Chain A
Amino acid sequence: MKKNLQKVMSLLCVSALSLSMLAGCGGGNNGGTTTTETPAATEEASTEAPAAEEKTEDTAEETTEETTEETTEETTEETTEEAAEETTEEASADGESTPRNETLYEAGQQWGTINDWNPMSANSNNGLALSANDVARELVYETLFMFNPLDGELYPLLGTEYSWNDDNTELTVKLNADAKWSDGTAFTAEDVAYTYDTHVKYQSSQGSDFSTYVDAVEAVDDATVLIKAKVEGGKAINPLKVTSMLNTMYMMQKAYLQTVEERNGEDADKVKQDTMEDMAHTGPYAPYISNDQKAVLQRDDNYWGQADSMWGKLPVPKYIAHTIYKDNAAGQVALSQGEVDVCQQFITDVQNLWLEDQLPISTWLDEAPYGQCEAIPSMFFNVEREGLDQKEVRRAIAMAVDYEQIIASAMSGQSPTFDEYPRSIVGPTAGERKYVDFDAIADLQWENADVDGANKLLDDAGIVDGDGDGIREYNGKNLSFKAECPSGWSDWNASMEIVAAAGEKIGIDIQTYFPEASSFYDDMTTCNFDICMWSAPGAGVMNPYSKGMFYFSEEYAKLASNWSGNFGHYMNDDAEAILEAIPTETDEAKLKEYYTELSRILLEECPAVALMYRPQLFYAVNESVWTNFPAADDGRNIPPTDCTDGYGIAALYELELVE
C-alpha cells in the first residue's frame, strides 16, 4: 500500500514538474511580450496600428522564418548583385555589418524579426518597409503620390499628376513613364489596376476599406489610370477617400502578384499570409539582411527614381539599418551614443540630450513641443455603460482632468497646451484650424483641472454621493470605471493615471487598467471598456474630415471589429448628417460651419476628450555620422517623418556625411 502510494506520488510529482515547466515557459513568454510591446510611446499615433501591433503573435513564427528568410535572401542577392561585388557583400553580410558611413541607422520602427513583406498582410510586423497610412513609408514599395504633412499637399512619385473630372466622379492619374520595377520591367497602369483588384479580390483591409468608395480602377493606356468613384445620386460618396488612395496604397507588380496567387492557389488567407520575400518593388531600397538582431535594406542602384523626371539621383545612404532593440531605453542609449541616426521614439526630457549632455542631437523644433504635433490622443467614454451614458458625468470627468500636468509630465512637455490650441475637432496645425470658428465655441471650453466646476455640474445634475462612501451614485450604483490603455505605453499609462487622480477629486472612482496590447485591442475594437485611449489620426489628405469620422462616425461604431474610431458607440444624428455632407462640400465657409458645429457637439457632449497633442512620428536625429536632416527652420519643406515616410523620404537624397 505504502509503496503504491509512493509510486503514485512520484508519478504525480513528475507530472507536476513538467506542468510547472510548461507554466514557467508560458510565464516567460508573457514577460517577453511585455518587452516587445513596451515601446509604446513610439507607436505611431495612427490607424496603422492594427498591422503593426499583431507582432505579438508572430514571435512563435519568427524562429522558423529566420531560416527560410536567410536562404531566400541569398538567392535573390545572387541574381541582383554583380559578381565582383558579390564576394565583398557576402563577407559583410556574414559579419552582419555594413560600413557605418554608408548606413543610416533608424530606431523605433521595427520591434521584432520581420515576418513578411506583404502589403496585403493583416498581421505584418514590418515597420521598416510597410506603413500604408496617409504618410506611407516609401523605402521598398511606393505609392502613386507622397503626402507632405507640412503643407498637406501630394507630391508626385509613381504618378505625375492627378485630376478630377467636372462632376467629381472620376479621378485620372498620369504615371511617370520612367518608373520601373526592381526587375527592370516598366511600371504601367495595368499594375495599378491589378494591385487594386487584388486588394479587393482577397479582401485585404485596404481592399475592403476602399471598395466602399471606389467602383473600379482601369488602365486607359500604359501611363494613364482612371479611378471611378462609387456614385450615389449623381455624386461620388466620398471623393476625399478616393483621393487618399493615391498616397496610401502601395503599388505591386501584376506579373508578381499573379505568381503569388498561383503558388497559393488563389486562396485568400494564403495570399494574404504570403511572405513575399522575393517581391518586385519600385522603391529605392531592397531587403538585405533580416534577423532577430537587425533588419537592413540595401539601395537598388538601378532605382528608376534617378531619372531626371523624379529625383535625378540615388538616395545617399547605401543601407538603411534598424537594430532590433529590446525597448525604448535601449534605443535611446543607442541614439545618444551615435549608433542610431534617426530615432522614432518618445524620449523623456529630450532637450537634456543637447542642453546638458552636449550631444549633437536635435529635434524638429529647438523648443517645446520639439515635434510637429498633428495627432490627438483622446479618451473615449463608452456611452453604453450606465453612468457614462450621462453627458454630465462625461463632461465632469473631462473638466476635472489636469491636462497641463498630462502635457508637462506624461508627455514631458512635447505637446502644445490647450490654452495655446483650444479643444476642437481639429488638430493644432494651421491648415486644419482654419476650418473651425473658435470664437463660436469659446464658451464651451473648460478651464484646466476645474474640479469645482465639475463637482457643481454633477451636484446640479443630481448625481451625488448618497451613501457617504466618497463615491457618487447614479441610479443607486457607484460611479466606478476602468480607464484602460495598453501596458508599457508609458506616456499613455501616465495620462490615464492623471485621469484617475482627477476622478478621485470629483467622487468618481476611476481605476487604471493596463492589459497586454492584444487584449486591449479586443476591448477597444468591440466596445468592451469603460474609458479607453486611442489617437485621432494625424495629418492626411482627408483631414480634418478623418478626425470628424474618428470622433463621431456611426458607421465605424457599427463595425464588428472597429479599429477606426467612435469606440464608445456615441450616436448623434446631427453629427452624422454633417459627416455625410462634408465629403462633397467644396465651399470653405460651409465647411467651416460644419466643423465648428462638430466641435460644438464634441465639447458639449464629450463622447471623447482630447488629452494632448502629439507628433505622428517622434523624430530625434544624431548628427555624428550624417547631417543635413530636415529641421523646422531649414526652409526645405521636408517633413520630419524620419526620412522614410511620405515626402519626408526626400531627406534621404540630401543627406551628407559629417566631415
Chain B
Amino acid sequence: MKNTIKQVFHSGKFLFGFVIFMFILLTVLIYPIFVTADPLQMIGQGNFFKPGTYVSVEESALEKTYTLQIPKQFSKLEMVLDVDTRASIQDFLIKQAGVAESEIDVTDAEGLVALWKANYDPNTKYKGLTTAKRKALRRLDGQITAAMKDSGVIIAEKDEEGTLQQSKVIKDTDYINIKDVTTKTFLLGTDNFGRDVLTELVAATKSSLKIGLLAGLIATAIGLLLGLIAGYMGGLADNIIIFITNLFTVIPSFVILILISYSVGDKARGIAMVGIIIGITSWPWTTRSVRSQVISLRNRDHVNLSKLSGHSMFRIIFTDILPYIASYVVMAMILQISSGILAEAQLSMIGLGPATTKTATLGLMMQWAMQYSAHLNGSWWAYFPVVILIALISFSLNLMNTGMDQVFNPQLRD
C-alpha cells in the first residue's frame, strides 16, 4: 500500500495535478478563516464594479491632508484632450462653427480650448449632429470646463438655515495616506448583485467541490456495486443489470438530470440534493467497466481456488476481486468528481441549480454573469475566474487520473 502511494507520487503528472488540487482545496479551507464576511452579502450597489481598492470619499475629504509637491506628469487639459477628442473638436469647429481649417492648430491645447470656448454653446442645437454626438460634445465641454478650473475643490456643509458654509478647500497638492481612511479591496471586483467575486468564488468552489465529491461518491458506489454483482454473478442478474445500464447509457444522462431537477422543485434543491441527483444519473459507465473487469477476473485461478475453499460470495468479491480493480475504481471516481462539478455548472447555467441566495456555486456565478451580459460589457472578472477555476479543477483531477493510470496500467508502465 505504502509502496503504491510512493509510486503514485513519483508520477510527475499525478504530482502536478495533486499540487494544483491541494492548492485549490487549501485556499478554499484557509481563505474563510481570514475573510469571515458572508460571501453572499450584496455590498456594491450596482452591476460589476471593477477590481481594485475602493476608498471612502467622505473620509478622504475630511481626513488630515499631506501636501506633496509631486510634479504633475500631465496637465489636466492634456489628459482630456487626447488625439480623438482633438479631432472631434476640430470637426465641430469646421463643420458646425464655421471656423476656417487654417485657424485651427490641433497641437496647441490652449488655443484649441480657447476656440472651443468661443464657439461652443451647450444650449444650442447644432445642425448636422447626431444626438449621440451632441451629447458627447456636451460631456466634453463639461470635462474641458472642469480641467480648466483652477486648483481647489471646496467642501461645504449645510448649516441650520440650510445655507452652504465653506468648510474646507482641497488643493491639487493635497494627499491623504490611504491607511488613514476606510478602504475596501475587491481583488476580483463585484458581480451583478454587488457581491465580492473573490469571496464568492471561494465559497462557490467549496460547494462545487462538495457537490462533485458527493456526486462522485454516489455514482461510484452505485456503479461499483452493480458492476460487481453483474460481473461476478452473471446470468439473470447480469442480464437485468446490464439492461438497466444500457437503458441509462442510451438516454442522455443530462436530459434525465434536467427532468429530475425540474421535478424536485426549487424547495429541496440544496447542495446535497443537487449532488445526489447528479450522482444517481451518472453511474452507468462505471458499472459497465467494472463489470467487464470483474468478468475477466472471475475465472482467474485464485478466484477459483477461493471458490473451492468454500468462501462466501461476498468474501470472494471483497478479498479476491475488489483489490484488483481498486485502482481502477479510484481513477473512475476522480473522473466522476470532475464530471459532477461540470454537471453542476451546466445545471445552474440553465437555472436548475441550488438557490442563489442560499449558496454560491460556480454554475450560479456563471449563470448570473451571463444573464447580466458580463461577457458583452467587458466585465471579465465576473466570469473568467470562474471558468479558469472550473478548468483548473477538472484539469488537476484529470492529470491525477492519467498519472495513476500510468502507474497502475501495466500496458502504459515503462
Contact = CB atoms under 8 A, between A and B. Distances in A.
A332 B373 contact: yes
B250 A408 contact: no
A461 interface: no
Interface stretch (B99-107, B165-173, B294-302, B349-357): B349-357
Given A409-B194, A512-B266, A360 B132 contact: yes
A623 B45 CA distance: 31
A413 interface: yes
B232 interface: no
A308 to B, nearest CB: 26
B130 A501 contact: no
A352 B130 contact: no
Residue among B46, B125, B255, B371 having the largest count of chain A Cβ atoms under 10 Å? B371
Interface string B145-176: 00000000000000000000000000000000
Contacts of A354: 132, 135-136
Given A12-B243, A409-B47, A623-B130, A348 B192 contact: yes
A471 to B, nearest CB: 13
Interface residues of B, number: 49
Interface string A612-646: 00000000010100011101001000000000000
Interface string B359-402: 00000000010111111111000000000000000000000000
A634 B125 contact: yes
A366 B122 CA distance: 14
A328 B374 CA distance: 12
B46 A332 contact: no
B47 A412 contact: yes
Contacts of B243: 9, 12-13
A7 B219 CA distance: 30
Interface string B234-277: 00000100010011001110010011000001110000000000
A288 interface: no
A446 interface: no
A329 B376 CA distance: 7
Contacts of B378: 352, 356
Given A348-B373, A348-B377, A360 B252 contact: no
B131 interface: yes
A490 B266 contact: no
Interface string A337-365: 00000000001110010101011111000
B255 A328 contact: no
Contacts of A497: 193, 356-357
B363 to A, nearest CB: 15
A628 B351 CA distance: 41
Residue among A19, A347, A627, A659 having the largest count of chain B Cβ atoms under 10 Å? A627
Given A360-B130, A629-B131, A17 B46 contact: no
Nearest to B135: A366
Nearest to A28: B255
A316 to B, nearest CB: 15
Contact of B42 (A12, A20, A409, A493): A409
B372 A490 contact: yes
A34 interface: yes
A490 B194 CA distance: 15
A408 B194 contact: yes
A504 interface: yes
A244 interface: no
B128 A659 contact: yes
Contacts of B239: 5, 9
Nearest to A354: B132
B42 A498 contact: yes
Given A24-B255, A27-B259, A349 B48 contact: yes
A559 interface: no
Contacts of B131: 362, 621, 623, 627-629, 631, 634
Contact of A405 (B45, B252, B377): B45
A500 interface: yes
Nearest to A332: B376
Contacts of B251: 16, 19-20, 23-24
B356 to A, nearest CB: 5
B117 interface: no
A511 B267 contact: yes
A176 to B, nearest CB: 32
B272 to A, nearest CB: 16
B54 to A, nearest CB: 15
A609 to B, nearest CB: 18
Contacts of B255: 20, 23-24, 27
Given A332-B373, A511-B267, A623 B132 contact: yes
A85 B3 CA distance: 86
Interface string B171-187: 00000000000000000
A498 B47 contact: no
Contacts of A511: 266-267, 355
B315 interface: no
Contacts of A514: 351
A360 B130 CA distance: 8
A409 B192 contact: yes
Contacts of B265: 513
B194 A17 contact: no
B258 A348 contact: no
Residue among B47, B125, B246 having the largest count of chain A Cβ atoms under 10 Å? B47
A20 B250 contact: yes
Contacts of A349: 47-48, 377
A622 to B, nearest CB: 8
B133 interface: yes
Contacts of B42: 402, 405, 409, 498, 501
B40 interface: yes
A628 B133 CA distance: 11
A494 interface: yes
Nearest to B192: A409
B132 A362 contact: yes
Contacts of A413: 46
Given A333-B376, A361-B132, A627-B131, A409 B45 contact: yes
A497 B42 CA distance: 11
A197 B267 CA distance: 49
A488 B259 CA distance: 18
A487 interface: yes
Residue among B239, B255, B267, B368 having the largest count of chain A Cβ atoms under 10 Å? B255
Interface string A476-493: 000000100001101001
A621 B49 CA distance: 25
A473 to B, nearest CB: 17
Contacts of B375: 329
Nearest to B43: A405
Contacts of B133: 360, 623
A352 B379 CA distance: 11
Contacts of A487: 351
A360 B128 CA distance: 14
* Across the A-B interface, the 7 shortest Cβ-Cβ residue pairs: A20-B251, A623-B130, A408-B45, A490-B371, A360-B132, A27-B255, A627-B130
27 contacts: A13-B250, A16-B246, A17-B250, A20-B252, A20-B255, A30-B258, A34-B351, A332-B376, A349-B377, A354-B135, A356-B378, A358-B136, A360-B132, A404-B45, A409-B44, A409-B46, A409-B194, A482-B266, A494-B193, A494-B371, A497-B357, A500-B356, A623-B130, A627-B130, A627-B131, A631-B131, A659-B128
Interface of A: 5, 9, 12-13, 16-17, 19-20, 23-24, 27, 30-31, 34, 328-329, 332-333, 336, 347-349, 352, 354, 356, 358-362, 366, 402, 404-405, 408-409, 412-413, 482, 487-488, 490, 493-494, 497-498, 500-501, 504, 511-514, 621, 623, 627-629, 631, 634, 658-659
Given A16-B247, A405-B193, 11 more contacts: A9-B239, A13-B243, A27-B255, A31-B350, A361-B132, A409-B45, A409-B46, A409-B47, A500-B357, A511-B355, A621-B131
